[in-house]
Chain A
Amino acid sequence: MSEPVSRRDLLQQVVRGGVLATLGGGAIFLVQKAHGQVVWQVDAARCINSRLGDTGAEACKLCTTECVVALSAVRAVNEYSKCGRCNICPAYFNITSAVDEKGLPSEKLCPRDAIARKPIGKADPEDPANNFYEYIIDEEKCDGCGKCVMKCKEPLGLGSIVLRIRYNKCVDCNRCAISRACPKDALIQVPVEQALRPAESLHRTE
């Protein structure tokens, strides 16, 4: 057993031990600091399309153009509980277009026709303008261009439509390509438990 250890071997062992200790120490430090899994999400309070105050501007399309996935992983989402269910929805209709015979704007807003609507609740046959409508965004058609988000926010709408990352589309890039392009730094990494919470309750981790 007492084979003589050469100086070279000894040195190698010592250095290896040192490197092991350094790597181990680094790993332990990082694990102690870790806060679980993080994912990217759009911070609606920063996103220029949903942020209050930025009205009248063209919708920002960077989420559509910058995402590495062909049809962006960012999609418009209608938080139904906040939706006004209006008869004339400024995010569904192009409210500047001519009025048709039914008294509704003749054009839709979405360039990809991704929003559908259906009457809900107790219908009032006397006054169809008073009915409530559910606005459903077709996730497969939406490319996250943000046009409807821009129109849905106050004061025209109630701000129920926001841009959100769809986790069945997102490939979870190490550094989200949209986050690099976003002028408002609205793409943030959040703990996974927060990722699906309503838009206003995100807390950035970095």
Chain B
Amino acid sequence: MASRGGMLIRVRPGLAASLLLLLLLSFAPALQAQGIPYSRPVETAPQADTIGGGYKTPAVQKPLPRDAYLQMLDVLMLTAAMGMSVWLVLKRRSRKWALALTMGSLAYFGFYREGCVCPIGSIQNVAVALTDRTYAIPMVVTATFFLPLLVALFFGRAFCGGVCALGAMQELVLLKPLQVPPRLDRALGLLKYVYLGLAIFLAIKPALGRDFLICRFDPFVGFFRRTGAPHMLLLGGGFLLLGMFVGRPYCRYLCPYGGLLGWCTRLARRGVTITPDKELDCGLCTGACPYGAIDHMRAVRKDCLYCARCYASCPRDGDLAHAKADLVTLP
């Protein structure tokens, strides 16, 4: 009897509570009118044994994040593409093959990997990781940031010409390059350092106020993803339009990573050279360089974007030299 009484006492509060809940819910504005007076029929989730009938709880669909080894593949591809770029431009001096590499990189890093993570954006991650004790970045991001700088320290901006998908987009649309007056070119070139400073300043703010400016205003990532915010696509369209007449405007005037690469390139051991013992001093290369990187018929390494147009234009070098036999046959 005692236990029965105890049971009754134990049951009552629950009953009262559920009645109260029912009452409350039926008055709740969300559940008024002709809707059913709803109350949750269960307190805990029934499991397979309660449900019966041989039911098994299915696994929740869980597609995994990209595997770590595929991320390592990205780093390998980055390294390989930079190596190829150095070899094709410095050794083979072939515009054709360098362009093929650029297209390959655009396909892989741009349209397949959808432009993320790139060295340009990684500036911000590295800046945050260096300043914020609690923020760390994956090794892949570290590698993405440091490898192109390392290559630039020895060979110049091989990354810009051979790997960068943003550069490749602009390389593709460059139809009628105009020479930007050197003074204007230099003045505009300073913009990228302002942008670099601003991006780092916004990135190293405390976590809540943090903003990754470079990524937010990435002009081409919207194209790589085939979707994006209108301002991004407009910006990208604008750069492509401008890029038809001004060689790689984003790279030369805004790319903050280009600034860093330029600094490293000043110390480079090797780079694109306008070969003194072969040249005619004809100046064809100066006219062919859309980036203003040939000054007084000598390559300005910090501005050279590894496109190999100078070699292609040279009657004594590169692709033309190989086809010389055809060229000199005059009627």
Which residues of A are in contact with B by a Cβ distance under 8 Å?
Answer: 12, 15-16, 19-20, 23, 26-27, 29-31, 33-39, 56, 68-70, 77-88, 90, 95-99, 103, 105, 120-123, 132, 134, 139, 155-158, 160, 166-168, 170-175, 177, 180, 185, 192, 195-196, 205-206
CB-based contact A34/B116 at 8 Å: no
Q: How far is the CA of A84 from the CA of B36 in the complex (A)?
A: 18
Chain B stretch 12-34: residues in CB contact (< 8 A) with chain A:
21, 28, 30-34
CB-based contact A84/B35 at 8 Å: no
Q: How far is the CA of A192 from the CA of B45 in the complex (A)?
A: 28
Chain B stretch 167-184: residues in CB contact (< 8 A) with chain A:
none
Partner of A175, one of B21, B44, B149, B215: B215
Which A residues are in CB contact (< 8 Å) with B52? 121-122
**What is the total of A-B residue contacts with beta carbons within 8 Å?**
179
User: Is B64 an interface position by the 8 A CB rule?
Assistant: yes
Identify 14 new A-B residue pairs, CB closer than 8 A, beyond the known A69-B227, A123-B53. A20-B150, A23-B149, A83-B45, A84-B42, A95-B35, A156-B40, A158-B44, A167-B64, A171-B114, A172-B65, A172-B116, A175-B124, A175-B211, A192-B68
User: Is B185 an interface position by the 8 A CB rule?
Assistant: no
Q: How does the 8 Å CB contact mask read for B129-162 relative to A, with 1 for contact and 0 for none? A: 1101011111110110010011001000000000
The 5 closest A-B pairs by CB, nearest first: A121-B51, A175-B212, A168-B63, A122-B52, A96-B35
- CB proximity of A9 to chain B, nearest CB, Å: 10
User: Is B58 an interface position by the 8 A CB rule?
Assistant: yes
Q: How far is the CA of A171 from the CA of B38 in the complex (A)?
A: 40
CB-based contact A192/B65 at 8 Å: yes
CB-based contact A132/B46 at 8 Å: yes
CB-based contact A95/B31 at 8 Å: yes
**Best-surrounded residue of B34, B132, B136 (most CB of chain A within 10 A):** B136
- CB proximity of A153 to chain B, nearest CB, Å: 11
Q: How far is the CA of A15 from the CA of B64 in the complex (A)?
A: 45
Which A residues are in CB contact (< 8 Å) with B36? 88, 95, 99, 103, 105
Q: How far is the CA of A42 from the CA of B150 in the complex (A)?
A: 36
CB-based contact B207/A26 at 8 Å: no
Interface of B is mostly: loop
Which B residues are in CB contact (< 8 Å) with A20? 150, 153
CB-based contact A81/B47 at 8 Å: yes
CB-based contact B66/A155 at 8 Å: no
Q: How far is the CA of A103 from the CA of B36 in the complex (A)?
A: 9
CB-based contact A70/B117 at 8 Å: no
Partner of A29, one of B33, B130, B210: B130
CB-based contact B42/A86 at 8 Å: yes
CB-based contact A31/B44 at 8 Å: no
User: Is B267 an interface position by the 8 A CB rule?
Assistant: yes
CB-based contact B60/A84 at 8 Å: no
Which B residues are in CB contact (< 8 Å) with A166? 63
Partner of A37, one of B68, B153, B211, B216: B68
Q: How does the 8 Å CB contact mask read for B200-243 relative to A, with 1 for contact and 0 for none? A: 00000001101110011000000001011100000000000000
Partner of B38, one of A12, A19, A88: A88
User: Is B71 an interface position by the 8 A CB rule?
Assistant: yes
| Closest residue on chain A to residue B59 by CB atoms | A80
CB-based contact B45/A99 at 8 Å: no
Can you report 7 A-B residue pairs in the complex whose CB atoms are below 8 A from each other?
A19-B267, A35-B136, A84-B41, A95-B35, A98-B34, A122-B51, A173-B116
**Best-surrounded residue of A33, A88, A195 (most CB of chain B within 10 A):** A33
Q: How far is the CA of A120 from the CA of B52 in the complex (A)?
A: 8
User: Is B286 an interface position by the 8 A CB rule?
Assistant: no
Known: A12-B267, A80-B57. A87 touches B65 (CB 8 A): no
Partner of B57, one of A12, A35, A81, A180: A81
